[in-house]
Amino acid sequence: MRTLTNDDSVPIPLLASQFLYAPKESTPERRLLAAVLQDAVQIIRRGPEYHEDREMADTYRDAVAWVMAERNAWPFCFVALCEALGFDADKVKAQLLGR
């Protein structure tokens, strides 16, 4: 699995462009998974104060709930998506949510 740190102490930014465009790995499915993850990362990193109206606040809460959820049968659950992209879901979650 890919990690988000060099030595488990130095954070590495989570950027889709870092892993998405390798020729053998760039498939439409992989790009879709990366886009879903990237959207959630952008929503969460903006923080709750960015989302002033009710709809955007709901979107923020949904993104956080999606990241915090346990693995389930849904192919687009956070854990399955991270695994498909080669990331350690627990490390991504910790970095995104500051835990």
pLDDT tens digits for range 31-84: 999 999 999 999 998 887 776 777 778 889 999 999 999 888 888 899 999 999
38 is a domain residue: yes
d(CA 71, CA 75): 9
Does 47 fall in a domain? yes
Question: Domains in the chain: how many in total?
Answer: 1
Q: Which of 2-6, 16-20, 45-49, 85-89 has the highest mean pLDDT?
A: 85-89
Residue 90 within a domain? yes
Sequence-separated (6 or more) residues with CB below 8 Å from residue 33: 76, 81, 84, 85
> Is 41 among the domain residues?
yes
Domain that holds residue 81: 31-97
This model's pTM is above 0.95 = no
On whether residue 51 sits in a domain, the answer given is yes
Q: Domain for residue 64, yes or no?
A: yes
